[in-house]
Homo-oligomer: A and B are copies of this chain.
Amino acid sequence: MPLRIKPSPPHSDGQVAELADLFHLLGDGTRLRIVLACLHAPVSVNSIAGQLGLDNSLVSHHLRLLKAARIVRAERRGKQVFYVAADAHIRRVVTDLLAHLAEPGSGRAR
């Protein structure tokens, strides 16, 4: 029996669609910066907007999409609403890819 090399595993349409949705949401620069801003600790909408120099409204719009996709989680404290990355899974995805980009000679392939 010959050695089988990388049978190129089949992927369900659902999995691919889910992955594409995740990529699509993180594929906007503004939205990605928002995710990075609340990746490790809860941050208020105002704080994110101030930190990134964006309009309050714009940040809220993006956070609504990120929340709907379960990428971030909302938590209200008094007047403010704090957002944070939904779980360790999301954190790993983003930090892993940033690490990948930082790899020597990985800027964009060889």
A1 sits at the interface (CB 8 A): no
Q: A residues bordering B, Cβ < 8 Å? A: 6, 8, 11, 15-29, 32-33, 36, 39-41, 69-71, 73, 86-87, 89-90, 92-93, 96-98, 100-103, 106-110
Indicate how many identical chains form the complex: 2
Q: Tell me whether chain A's interface is mostly helix, strand or loop, or mixed.
A: helix
A26 to B23, CA, bound (A): 6
Known A11-B36, A16-B36, A18-B107; judge A27-B29 contact (CB<8 A).
no
Report yes or no: B36 in contact with A101, Cβ–Cβ below 8 A: no
Choose from B6, B70, B96 the contact partner of A109 (Cβ within 8 Å).
Answer: B70
Which 8 A/B pairs are nearest by Cβ-Cβ distance? A24-B27, A86-B109, A23-B27, A70-B109, A70-B108, A27-B27, A20-B29, A23-B26
